Structure 1
Amino acid sequence: MTATYPVGALCSTCYHHRRRNPRTCVECGNTRIAAGRTSEDGDLCGPCSGRPDLHTTCRQCDYPGDIYANGRCTRCAITDRVTHLLAGPDGTIAPPFQPLADALTQAEKPWSVMSWLRTSAAAGLLDELTTEHTEISHGLLDRLPQSTITRNVRHHLVMTGALPERHETFARLELWAIATLEALPPHQSRIVSPFSEWHVIKDARRRAERGRYTPGAAKADRGNIRAAILLLNWLDQHQLTLPDLHQEDLDLWLTQNPTRRQAVHSFVRWLTKRKLTRPLDTQLARKGFPANFQTDDEHEQQLQRCLTDEALPRELRIVGALIRLYALPIVRIKEITTSQFQLNDAGAFLTIDRHPVLLPPTLARLIKAHIARSQASSMLKPRASSGPDYLLPGRHAGRPLSAGHLIKRLRNHDLPTRAARNTAMINAITELPPIVVSDLFGLSAATTFQWAKFAQQNWTDYLALHK
């Protein structure tokens, strides 16, 4: 318990909520801290409930409540702190930092901003930047250690318009590659640098420009470069050069590094194509067909849970249903924006790729309610032009929830993802022509063909067993 108001004893959460959110008093009509309640559950201010001492206003802006210190509200106190944080040696805020200053002082949750200013290491980094620089750029931040703190600062600057947007996943790959290659001895750098720049990063840049470069793809690309370095290190240890590398040498390395077989494959192909080594084969195993499925009953029961179980968090119900109805991977679900959901006289539709798909009424109501009520928990509101409004907004403004976070939460609620998606895909491919599945779900023709082949093979085996 923190305080006793006419309305009763208040815990810390309720106390701060009332002080930060003044309401209209039903007796005097003024907007003040709601200290009491009428018999009809109407709000009463402090003076009207017999406690004039509970009526406080900011001495600077007359805001009726939320006094932070020295008689001033949180927002007024923030203005001074932000000026102190972002102002240069001359006491003024440089134009490049002004958008961030405006966003901080006008935030919808000023108490969150105050906490961030007081405790965040990112605020400390901003203080250093504004003290030493009058201009801000991605290049300036790129020269700093790429920690969570630096990424936090960059995100706030981008979201408020102080920095232009860029494909951050791809940019991090480039920064990592530069730092990694600089640490290599010259004879290795002469090999890995062109492989990295003209093979790995060039392809990553092309995918990023199409908007299809994911953190998972960046992880795989870093793995390819690491595998190349490991192979060259092994050659150095065994006093071998690339022209000396025979198939039996590569097989020995693969035996000692079995988890690197897939990653080193592109490097070996690149070496062979450029005749830097003799023809070599990493002997990649062909991808097998999926083996993780659910029974029809399991699939249906979990779908019904997602659609009807109000004890489940709404965002998990939406994700779980989209997986089980349309075989969508989570990495695509998290990128869905509110503009892809449309209501008209014909029903509710979700544009998954290029074509709108009719949604079941229950799922449509879930998505409609989620759009109406959900909001990002970020202390800063992104600019209207800063990017799409995600259906599943994340902790940071302008970003969706992460795929790993969603998978973990679904698993904790006994809603597996891979088996459910495989089952949904096999159901779709047996009921619809592959070209229709490809168009509706936004899958490549090769992927849908493989699924169709798998479904046909299983159906042939089933008929053979039941002759």
Structure 2
Amino acid sequence: MPFRDLSRECCETCGAEDELHSGGRCWTCVLGNVVDDLLTDPATGSMANDLIPLAAALKSMKRANSGLTWIRQKHVTAFLSNLAVAPEITHETFDELPASRTREYVRGLLTEHGVLPQRDELRMRYDSWAADAIERVKDPQHLDVIRRYIRWHHQRRMNHMDEVARGTFLRAKQEVTVAIDLLNWLTGHDIKLPELQQSHLDAWQAEGPTTRRIAERFLKWAIKTKAAPAGLTIVPHRRGTSPRLAKPGQDEALKRVIDDGLETRDRAAAILILVFGQQAENIARLTWNDVSITEELVTIQLGTIQIALPDPLDKPWRELAANPRHDLTASHPNTTWVFRGASPGRHIHPGHLTTRLSKLFSTRAARLGTLHELTKLAPVAIIAETLGYSPTTIERHATDSAAAYAQYVAAAKAVRQNP
């Protein structure tokens, strides 16, 4: 007698042979009914036109069970029910709702499916953060200065970007935070910014953490705009002090990446950091338009040229291309992101990517170690152009590398002379 899979029967609603959920209906049909019920305005008995694309996307999920699990959470059910009776669906109405992961996830779904227009969320987050940050300024005169600093230095620069990068967002927050700290210190010592003296700066910097060096950027702006006296200086924030992963550590990490059973996307990202010194932020933004895969070769656009990945470095990329798995939920139906994120239509958060890889190595230490080694192998201009770095950045690594090599030669010579 042939085996019969009792978990798969014909759905009484759609007729498809599938695993049944309840009442003789498959998971997909149950999901469809739940979505329609939640997104229909009970007062009118109909669904708003703006919500129809969202409903269609949710109902067409290949993983209907995942969709039901998400929707049946109490906070999600409540949010979608309230959305069904909203007078209009705009970014502004979403902004007025209490901040939550559900709010942003549903906003992302509506954006991904064409209901809401695309917008730069990091720019919006910075604007919101800045509005809260200026409330920490204690002196009204200093309040005017910090407002101008935010508006004309940071927000103006962001407004000229196609998309605000995570690094730009974080640096802008840090610079404003340190500037507010300086201004509040001045207030506590009854000093106005136009009265600032070098002795004041030295005292403030000496009694605080090294991050106060970042105030150098605010000070330069204040002097340039004549908000502070000329000639003042802050000991600059030193670069090149972060630890680097040495060559043996890089080789061991790469061996583990190739041999261990990591998730495929983690392996692909780790290779770009360990072999090509790429930043997590640039990796996260890669699309399949940057990748070319043929039977003979896999290449990735990193800087101005395409970098070839030899065997076995190409294997994770071939696996991803063969099975992208982007259409299992409503979050990424037509995405070109190689590294999809938790938010609909967006790439993975670089911080989340580094956290995933941290069980193997520090991504920053690995990247700096790789750049350190690469500067021994090729001229600065070629490395900068190939990997998409500024020549100044690569020059700094080359200088450090040359200094380290010089120290090695001197030490070896001393040993030979004094056996």
> Shorter-chain TM-score: which interval?
0.7 to 0.9
What does residue 158 of structure 1 align with? 111
SS of 1:358's partner is: strand
Task: Indicate conservation of the 8 Å contact 2:270/2:357, yes or no.
Answer: yes
Inter-partner Cα distance in structure 2 for 1:181 and 1:305: 47
Task: Indicate conservation of the 8 Å contact 1:378/1:397, yes or no.
Answer: no
Cα RMSD of the aligned pairs, angstroms, is 2.7
Task: Indicate conservation of the 8 Å contact 2:142/2:193, yes or no.
Answer: no
Inter-partner Cα distance in structure 2 for 1:361 and 1:129: 50
Task: Indicate conservation of the 8 Å contact 1:104/1:380, yes or no.
Answer: yes
Give 1:444 shift. Answer: 0.6
What does residue 445 of structure 1 align with? 391
- Taking a change above 3 Å as real, the CA distance of residues 319 and 55 of structure 1, as seen in their structure-2 partners, is closer
Greater CA deviation, 242-251 or 98-107?
242-251
Task: Indicate conservation of the 8 Å contact 2:213/2:237, yes or no.
Answer: no
User: Which structure 1 residue ranges, 5 or more long, are not aligned?
Assistant: 1-5, 7-26, 28-35, 37-43, 47-53
What does residue 408 of structure 1 align with? 355
Give 1:383 shift. Answer: 4.5
SS of 1:108's partner is: coil
Inter-partner Cα distance in structure 2 for 1:453 and 1:180: 39
Give 1:290 shift. Answer: 5.3
1:90 to 27, 44, 69: 44
2:70 to 116, 136, 141: 116
What does residue 225 of structure 1 align with? 176
Give 1:368 shift. Answer: 0.2
Task: Indicate conservation of the 8 Å contact 1:347/1:358, yes or no.
Answer: yes
2:280 to 330, 333, 337: 330
SS of 2:271's partner is: helix
SS of 2:298's partner is: strand
Give 1:173 shift. Answer: 0.7
Q: Deviations over 1:5-55 (max 9, x none)?
A: x9xxxxxxxxxxxxxxxxxxxx7xxxxxxxx3xxxxxxx445xxxxxxx66
Task: Indicate conservation of the 8 Å contact 1:254/1:260, yes or no.
Answer: no
Inter-partner Cα distance in structure 1 for 2:239 and 2:21: 61
Count of aligned pairs: 410
Matched, 1:194 2:140: no
What does residue 417 of structure 2 align with? none
What does residue 55 of structure 2 align with? 101
SS of 2:376's partner is: helix
Which of structures 1 and 2 has the larger relative contact order (alpha carbons within 8 angstroms, sep 6+)? Answer: 2
SS of 1:233's partner is: helix
Kindly provide the amino acid, as one letter, of the partner of residue 137 in structure 1: T
1:317 to 267, 272, 275: 267
- Taking a change above 3 Å as real, the CA distance of residues 171 and 393 of structure 1, as seen in their structure-2 partners, is same
Inter-partner Cα distance in structure 1 for 2:328 and 2:166: 21
Q: Which structure's CA Rg is the greater one?
A: 1
Inter-partner Cα distance in structure 2 for 1:146 and 1:319: 31
- Taking a change above 3 Å as real, the CA distance of residues 375 and 120 of structure 1, as seen in their structure-2 partners, is farther
Give 1:288 shift. Answer: 3.4
Inter-partner Cα distance in structure 2 for 1:151 and 1:183: 27
Instruction: Please show how residues 249-260 of structure 1 align to structure 2 within 5 Å.
Output: 249-260=200-211
Task: Indicate conservation of the 8 Å contact 1:122/1:152, yes or no.
Answer: no
- Taking a change above 3 Å as real, the CA distance of residues 182 and 137 of structure 1, as seen in their structure-2 partners, is farther
Matched, 1:236 2:187: yes
Matched, 1:287 2:239: yes
Matched, 1:129 2:79: no
What does residue 39 of structure 1 align with? none
Q: TM-score, normalised by structure 2?
A: 0.88
What does residue 425 of structure 1 align with? 371
Task: Indicate conservation of the 8 Å contact 2:105/2:343, yes or no.
Answer: no
Inter-partner Cα distance in structure 2 for 1:147 and 1:250: 40
Q: Percent identity?
A: 25
Inter-partner Cα distance in structure 2 for 1:151 and 1:311: 33
Kindly provide the amino acid, as one letter, of the partner of residue 122 in structure 2: T
Give 1:302 shift. Answer: 2.7
Give 1:103 shift. Answer: 0.5
Task: Indicate conservation of the 8 Å contact 1:113/1:379, yes or no.
Answer: yes
Give 1:355 shift. Answer: 0.6
Kindly provide the amino acid, as one letter, of the partner of residue 86 in structure 2: E
2:336 to 367, 380, 389: 389
Kindly provide the amino acid, as one letter, of the partner of residue 234 in structure 2: T
Task: Indicate conservation of the 8 Å contact 2:290/2:300, yes or no.
Answer: yes
Inter-partner Cα distance in structure 2 for 1:275 and 1:55: 76
SS of 1:140's partner is: helix
Task: Indicate conservation of the 8 Å contact 2:142/2:183, yes or no.
Answer: yes
What does residue 310 of structure 2 align with? 360
Greater CA deviation, 373-382 or 244-253?
373-382
Inter-partner Cα distance in structure 2 for 1:228 and 1:420: 31
Inter-partner Cα distance in structure 1 for 2:305 and 2:350: 24
What does residue 129 of structure 2 align with? 176
Inter-partner Cα distance in structure 1 for 2:293 and 2:167: 33
Q: Deviations over 1:79-128 (max 9, x none)?
A: 33222322233122212222111111111111222122210524422322
Q: TM-score, normalised by structure 1?
A: 0.79
